[in-house]
Amino acid sequence: MVVADDLFKALADPTRRIILDELTEKSGQTLFEICSRLSMKHQLGISRQAISQHLATLEAAGLVETRREGRYKFHDLNTAPLRHIVQRWLTPDPSEPEESTS
Amino acid sequence: MKIRLTSIFVNDQAKALHFYTDILGFVKKHDVPVGEQDRWLTVVSSDEPGGAELLLEPAGHPAVKPYRDALAKDGIPLAQFAVDDVQAEYERLRGLGVRFTQEPLEMGAISTAVFDDTCGNLIQIASQSQ
């Protein structure tokens, strides 16, 4: 399971939340499409390298998955880690181990 | 200064001619043998036979493959063509078996889509939104 810290860190950034919004609209996008959406729809002047970094952070948190199809690489949304957040506070599972604060 | 010709690398000129004419609808303009196998092969838009030519250039140089593979991986198109209606063109080309890496996307004033030209390139089509 993905460490909760990675998940919350990934969600803390507004640009990464916009990327998730765009992947919610359509999963399975190339880096080029994600860059186009951020610049054209959201007027965000972010470099392709910076967007790659954001995608890597989202991938590390389990929110984005990548797949290769031939020469092309596509990014898919994976909302499964979010379910864990909902269950943690809205439907607590008594068997859930407590988070270490050390 | 005027732009009369632009070029795109293609893996196979015969296959490229088929795709760019029979599928995309361009018209062959020049086809001149150059060297042993290569051709000076250009196409133009059927709407503008006197317009800019697209050179379908052999991709034999060793620098071409890594350059194009890196761009393809990130989904970056190597040329853009103007169409009247991206959605209609997308449906027409899909019907002919063309593979898209980006479906029609409306972004403010323009709509775009990106497809694979079967010759090693991604191509973007764009139209002004209605």
CB atoms within 10 A of CB A41: 16
pLDDT in tens, B34-81: 988 899 999 999 999 999 999 999 999 999 999 999 999 999 999 999
Q: Domain spans of chain B?
A: 5-128
Cβ B39 vs Cβ B31: under 8 Å: yes
Q: Vertex A66, ends A47 and B99: CA angle to 5°? A: 90
Cβ <8 Å between A29 and B102: yes
Low-confidence ranges of chain A (pLDDT < 50): 102
Kindly report, residue by residue over B37-48, the tens digit of the pLDDT.
899 999 999 999
The DSSP line for A40-101 is IIT-----HHHHHHHHHHHHHTTSEEEEEETTEEEEEE--HHHHHHHHHHTS--TTSPPPP-
- Could you say which architecture CATH assigns to the domain B5-128? Roll (3.10)
pLDDT value of residue A86: 82
- Taking CB atoms and an 8 Å cutoff, what residues of chain B touch A72? 72-73, 75, 101
Helix/strand/coil for B102:
strand
Q: Chain A neighbours among B 22-51 (CB < 8 Å)?
A: none
Q: Domain A4-89 adopts which CATH fold?
A: Arc Repressor Mutant, subunit A (1.10.10)
Residue numbers in A near B107 (CB within 8 A):
36-37, 40-41
How do the domains of chain A map onto residue ranges?
Answer: 4-89
Contact A37, B104 (CB under 8 A): no
Q: CA of B27: how far to CAs of A86, B104, B127, in Å? A: 58, 25, 21
Q: Which residues touch B69 (CB under 8 Å, ≥6 apart)?
A: A71
ipTM reported for the complex, 2 dp: 0.88
